[in-house]
C-alpha cells in the first residue's frame, strides 16, 4: 500500500548555528489512518507538524534537508494554496484560529479567499455542517461556544477545503471529559469518511485513539507502535517511554 505521507531523512534547524530540531526523520502514514505523534515538549513534534503542512520552509524560515511526499508529490513543489487543499491543521489554542462572528462565516472564509462562487461556498457550508452534525452551531459566535464546540468550529473551517489530511495539535489537552468525547467521536467519524488524521499529543489516554503511535525523542522517531496489542500492555509500554524521559 502506498502511503499518503512519506517523510524521507528529514532534518531541520532554524538557523545555521542553531540546534538540530529534527534529525534524520523517516516515517510513513497510511491513507485513512489515525496516527499519533507523541513525545515531551521540545522533542520536535510541533516542528514536524509545520513541515508536514508546508509552513516550513514556505512561511517559517530555516534550513531543511530531506523530503516530504504527499501522495507521491514533493511538498517543495506544491504552492501554499495547493497544500491548504491537502492538509488542514487545528491548533491547541483554538481561540487564535477563530476570529469571525459565526461558525458559518468561519467555514466560508477559506473558500471565499480562493474566490469560489457563492453557490460553491453555500454547498460547502451545508456539506461541512452536515458531515460534522453541527447545524445547530451555524449562527453561533465561536467565542460563546464550549471548548469542544470551538474545536468543532475550527475543524469545520479546515474541512471547508476538504483536505485529505487533518492535523490536530494537542486539541484534547484542555478539554473536560464531555468535550473530549465529542472531539474523539468526531475524529473517528472523519476517519470513517476517508480522512487521514494526525494527532499530536503527550497524554497516554489520548494516544489510544490512534491506529499507529510514533514516539519522538530529541528530534528523532524512536519507535513506531501499531495499536493492535493488549491495551494494558500498550499503556505500560507508553508509560515506560515517558518515565525514561523524566516524566
pLDDT of residue 245: 65
Distance CA 144, CA 98 (A): 11
CATH code of the domain occupying 1-86+163-247: 3.40.50.300
For the segment 76-80, the average pLDDT, to the nearest whole number, is 90
Predicted confidence (pLDDT) per residue in 13-45, tens digit: 999 898 999 999 999 999 999 999 998 888 999
C-alpha cell at 234: 500498550
Q: State residue 247's pLDDT score.
A: 47
Task: Give the contacts of 191 (CB within 8 A, at least 6 positions apart).
Answer: 32, 33, 34, 197
Q: What percent of the chain has pLDDT over 90?
A: 66
pLDDT tens sequence across 196-246: 999 998 888 888 889 999 999 999 999 998 887 677 788 888 888 887 765
Cβ neighbours, 10 Å, residue 233: 9
pLDDT of residue 155 exceeding 90: yes
Alpha-carbon gap, residue 131 to 128, rounded angstroms: 5
Is the confidence at residue 54, as pLDDT, over 50?
yes
d(CA 82, CA 209): 29
Q: Where are the domains of the chain?
A: 1-86+163-247, 94-160
Q: Quick one: pLDDT at residue 1?
A: 66
pLDDT at position 175 over 50 = yes
Give the pLDDT of residue 188. 93
Amino acid at each position: 500500500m502506498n502511503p499518503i505521507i512519506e517523510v524521507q531523512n528529514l532534518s531541520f534547524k532554524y538557523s545555521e548555528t542553531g540546534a538540530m530540531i529534527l534529525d534524520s526523520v523517516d516515517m510513513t502514514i497510511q491513507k485513512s489512518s489515525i496516527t499519533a505523534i507523541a513525545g515531551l515538549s521540545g522533542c520536535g513534534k510541533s516542528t514536524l507538524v509545520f513541515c508536514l503542512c508546508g509552513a516550513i520552509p514556505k512561511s517559517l524560515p530555516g534550513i531543511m534537508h530531506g523530503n516530504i511526499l504527499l501522495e507521491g508529490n514533493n511538498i517543495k513543489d506544491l504552492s501554499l494554496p495547493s497544500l491548504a487543499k491537502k492538509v488542514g491543521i487545528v491548533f491547541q489554542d483554538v481561540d487564535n484560529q477563530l476570529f469571525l462572528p459565526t461558525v458559518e462565516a468561519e467555514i466560508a472564509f477559506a473558500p471565499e479567499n480562493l474566490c469560489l462562487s457563492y453557490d460553491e461556498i453555500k454547498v460547502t457550508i451545508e456539506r461541512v455542517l452536515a458531515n460534522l452534525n453541527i447545524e445547530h452551531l451555524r449562527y453561533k459566535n465561536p467565542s460563546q461556544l464550549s471548548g469542544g464546540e470551538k474545536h468543532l468550529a475550527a475543524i469545520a473551517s479546515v474541512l471547508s477545503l476538504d483536505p485529505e489530511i487533518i492535523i490536530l495539535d494537542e486539541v484534547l489537552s484542555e478539554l473536560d471529559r464531555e468535550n473530549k468525547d465529542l472531539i474523539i467521536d468526531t475524529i473517528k467519524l472523519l476517519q470513517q469518511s476517508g480522512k487521514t488524521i494526525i494527532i499530536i499529543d503527550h497524554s497516554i489516554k489520548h494516544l489510544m485513539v490512534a491506529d499507529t503511535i510514533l514516539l519522538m525523542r530529541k528530534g528523532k522517531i524512536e519507535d513506531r507502535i501499531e495499536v493492535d496489542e493488549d491495551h494494558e500492555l500498550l499503556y505500560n509500554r507508553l508509560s515506560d517511554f515517558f518515565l525514561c524521559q523524566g516524566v
